[in-house]
Amino acid sequence: MTRSLIAAWLAIAVLTAGIYWSGLHGDFAFDDYHVIVDNPTLDLANFAPATLLDAAFSTETGPLLRPFAMLSFAVDRTLGGPEAFHFKLANVVLHLLNAAVLLALLCRVLPRLAPASRPVPVLVAAVVVALWAVHPINLSSVLYVVQRMTLLAAMGVLVALIAYCVARERQLAGRPASWGPWVAGGMGWLLGLASKETAALLPLFVLAIEVFAFRFAALPRPRGWQRGLLLLGVAALGTAAILLFIELIGRYGSRDFTLAERLMTEARVVVIYLRMLLVPDLSLFAMFHDDITFSRGVLSPPTTLLVLLVIGAAALLMLRGRPRYLAFGIAWFFAAHALESTVLPLELMHEHRNYLAAVGPLVALVMAIYLLLETRLSTRGLAFVALAGVAILAGITGLRAAKWADPWQQMAMEAHYHPQSSRTTYEYGRLAIKRAGETNNAALYAEGLAAVERSTTLEPVYKPYVAKASLINQALNTDAPERAERHLADVLDDPRDRQRVEIFHSIVYCQVTATCKPHPDVVFRLAESLLGDEDLAPVRRRKTLEWLAVYYSNILGDSDAAIRILSELTEEWPYARAGRIRLMEVLMAVGRAAEARAMAKEYLDARPWHYPVTNRPEYRRLRRLLHGPS
C-alpha cells in the first residue's frame, strides 16, 4: 500500500472505531449464550493440545464445527474475562483488519473493471471500503459476538483472493510461477472454512474476479492431467451436490416453507438486502427478520413476480458483461448469497449474510458515480460527494450502535419497527421482565409479560416452545399458579409433540440449574402426557425419558429411579447415545465407578477414529468418566 492508502485506511479505522465504540458496552445476545457464555470449555486452564481441542470443537455449530472461531472465543475469554466488551472489541479490530485486506484487494481489481480510456485512481477503492466499513448492514456482523465466525471466514476469503490476484499478475507480467501465493491462498481458505462454511464460496468470488477483471488473459492452457483432475473435481462436486440436495429436501419437514417457497421468498429477501445497501433506512434494520411474509406463489404476494423479474434482469446484465464494474458487482453479490440464500433450509433472512455481499453493490455504485462525475466535478467536489455518503452511513450506524449499548433499548427500537416479529417481541418482553426485576418496576414487568404472551400469537411463531416455557417458568417462579395452569393447559392440549417435549426439557432444565423453583407436579404432568402418547416419535420419547431421569437424580435425589429409567431406555434403544452416557454419569455419581468406567471404555472402543474430534463434547464427557476431571 502507498502512504496515501495507509492514511486512508487509518482514517477509515478511526471513524469506524468511533461509531462502534458505544455499542461495545452492550451485552451478549441470542446464540452468544449457548456458543460462548454457557460454554465452560472456553475457559482455558492451560494450552495443552487436549484443552485446545476441547475448546475448538466444543459446539455442533455448522457441519465443519468452526474450530478456528471457537478457539478465538476461548482466547478472548481466557485473557479478557467473561464480559462482552472484550469480545466485541476483538470483533471491531477484526472488522478493521478486514477493511485493510479488502482495500488491498480492490486496489488490484477496480482499475481492471473500468474502460481502458478511463483510469481509476486507487483512492476510489478507499471510498468503497469506507462505505463498507461504516455501513449499518454490517453492524450485526460486528457487535453480535458470535458473528465473529462471519468476520474470520471473510478474512480467509479476502486473503485467498489477494493471493490469487498476485499469482495472476505474475502470469500477466510473464514472470515465472511461484508457489508462495497459492500456499498463502490455500492457508487463508482453510482458516476461513475453519471459521464458517460460507468460505466455501471462494471459487465463485475467484470466478467473478477472473471473468470481469483478468478476463482469462495470459492464463496458461491446462495440461492433460490438469484437465483430468478438473473434470474429476467437477464430477465429485456434482455428485456431492446431488446427495446434499436429496438430504436437504428431507430437512424441509421442520420448516414452515417448502423449497420452492423458500426460493421465491429469498428472491424478495435479496432485493430487500439491496434496498438496505443502497437506500439505508433505520427502520429496515433489525437483529431478527422473522416477520417477512412467505411467498406461497409467484403472485402471493404480488411483489414476488416483480422481484423475480428484477433478479432476472440483473442476471442478464451480468451475462452481458458491460459495463464490467456493474457486471462484477452483480456477480459478486450473487456469489456471496449462493449458499445462505438459495436451497439450504436455513432461516430466511439475516443481515450478517451481507458482510461480503455488500462489497459488490458498493463497487458498482461508487464506480458508476465516479465515472459519471469525474469530468463534471473537481477533485474537491468528488471528495465532498464521497464524504457525504460516508457521513450518512456512519450516522445511521452510530445510532444503531448507541442502541446496541443497551439490549433492552435495542429490542424496544426494533420491536417498534418490527411489531409483527415473534422473535423480536419475545426478546423485548424477556429483557423488559429482566429490567423490571432489576428496577422493581411493576408496570414494566406487566408490559414485558404481555409482550412475551403476544409473541406466541404472531405468525410465524419463532420456536413457540421458547415463549411458552418462559411463561410457565415465570409464573411458577412468581407463585402465580392460575397463570401457570392456564399456560400449562395450552401446552397439554397442543397436538405438536415436538413443542411439548421442548417445553418439558426447558422446564426441567430451569429447575435442575436452580434458575427456577422445583415444581415436581408440573414436571410429572408433562411427562405423563408425553409418555402416554402412543404416537410420540421415538427420538422425543427418548429425550423425555432422559430428562425425567435427570430430574429424579438431580432434584428428587432418587438415583435408583434415574438408573432404572435410563437402563430401560438403553435396553430398548441400544443406539441411544445421549441416554447411555447419562446412565454412566449417574452410575459414577452414586459410587458405581467401576461399572461406569467399563461401560465408558466399551462405548469409546466402538467409536470411529475421528470421534475425538467430530464429537468432542461427548468424548470429553467419556474422558471425564474414565480419568476424572481434566
What does the pLDDT read at residue 103?
Answer: 96
For residue 498 the three cell numbers come to 415436538
pLDDT digit string, tens, across residues 383-425: 888 899 999 999 999 999 999 999 999 999 999 999 999 999 9
280/180 same-domain check: yes
182/329 same-domain check: yes
Distance of CA 36 to the CA centre of its chain: 13
The residue to which cell 461509531 is assigned: 19
CB 111 within 8 A of CB 122: yes
497/422 same-domain check: yes
Average of pLDDT values for 348-371?
Answer: 95
- DSSP lists the bridge partners of residue 164 as none
Q: What is the pTM of this model?
A: 0.93
Query: Where would I find the H helices in 405-532?
Result: 407-417, 422-439, 442-455, 464-477, 481-492, 497-512, 520-531
421/395 same-domain check: no
pLDDT tops 90 at residue 528: yes
**Do the domain assignments include residue 228?**
no
* CA angle in degrees (0–180, nearest 5) for 371-377-382: 75
**Do the domain assignments include residue 238?**
no
What does the pLDDT read at residue 628?
Answer: 76
317/453 same-domain check: no
Query: Where would I find the H helices in 321-441?
Result: 324-336, 359-373, 379-404, 407-417, 422-439
Half-sphere exposure of 56 (CA within 13 A, CB side): 16
> What is the domain count for the chain?
2
What does the pLDDT read at residue 162?
Answer: 97
Q: How far apart are CA 574 and CA 120, in angstroms?
A: 67
40/179 same-domain check: yes
**Cβ atoms within 10 A of the Cβ of 12, count?**
23
Q: How far apart are CA 31 and CA 61, in angstroms?
A: 10
628: Cβ contacts below 8 Å, ≥ 6 apart: none
Share of the chain above pLDDT 90, in %: 66
Residue 231 confidence class, pLDDT cut points 50, 70, 90: confident
Q: How far apart are CA 280 and CA 137, in angstroms?
A: 8
pLDDT tops 90 at residue 194: yes
578/605 same-domain check: yes
pLDDT tops 90 at residue 228: no
**Do the domain assignments include residue 250?**
yes
What does the pLDDT read at residue 176?
Answer: 78
Task: Write out the residue range of the structural domain in which residue 12 sits.
Answer: 3-219+243-401
pLDDT digit string, tens, across residues 569-601: 999 998 888 889 999 999 999 999 999 999 999
Q: How far apart are CA 110 and CA 118, in angstroms?
A: 12
What does the pLDDT read at residue 563?
Answer: 95
Query: Where would I find the H helices in 119-197?
Result: 123-134, 139-143, 148-172, 179-193
Query: Could you say which of 401, 416, 440 is where a domain stops?
Result: 401
Longest dimension (CA), the chain: 85
**Do the domain assignments include residue 230?**
no
Least confident range from 167-171, 198-202, 253-257, 335-339: namely 253-257
The answer to whether the Cα torsion of 58, 61, 63, 64 is positive or negative is: negative
Q: How far apart are CA 305 and CA 297, in angstroms?
A: 9
pLDDT digit string, tens, across residues 510-526: 999 988 889 999 999 99
Nearest to 385 by CA among 601, 124, 158: 124
pLDDT tops 60 at residue 630: no
78/131 same-domain check: yes
pLDDT tops 90 at residue 64: no
**Do the domain assignments include residue 171?**
yes
Residue 178 confidence class, pLDDT cut points 50, 70, 90: confident
**Do the domain assignments include residue 226?**
no
Query: Could you say which of 374, 401, 428 is where a domain stops?
Result: 401
The residue to which cell 477483471 is assigned: 213
Residue 495 confidence class, pLDDT cut points 50, 70, 90: confident
Share of the chain above pLDDT 70, in %: 96
CB 200 within 8 A of CB 154: no
Nearest to 106 by CA among 151, 154, 165: 165
What does the pLDDT read at residue 462?
Answer: 62
309/287 same-domain check: yes
The residue to which cell 416479529 is assigned: 421
Distance of CA 569 to the CA centre of its chain: 35
Half-sphere exposure of 496 (CA within 13 A, CB side): 10
Nearest to 331 by CA among 201, 439, 427: 201
CB 383 within 8 A of CB 349: no
318/461 same-domain check: no
**Do the domain assignments include residue 235?**
no
Mean pLDDT of the chain, nearest integer: 90
pLDDT tops 80 at residue 567: yes
Residue 258 confidence class, pLDDT cut points 50, 70, 90: confident
pLDDT digit string, tens, across residues 30-40: 899 999 999 99
**Do the domain assignments include residue 288?**
yes
What does the pLDDT read at residue 627?
Answer: 87
Query: Could you say which of 361, 381, 401 is where a domain stops?
Result: 401
Least confident range from 106-120, 182-196, 461-475: namely 461-475
129/182 same-domain check: yes
Specify the CATH number for the domain of residue 449: 1.25.40
What does the pLDDT read at residue 23?
Answer: 95
370/491 same-domain check: no
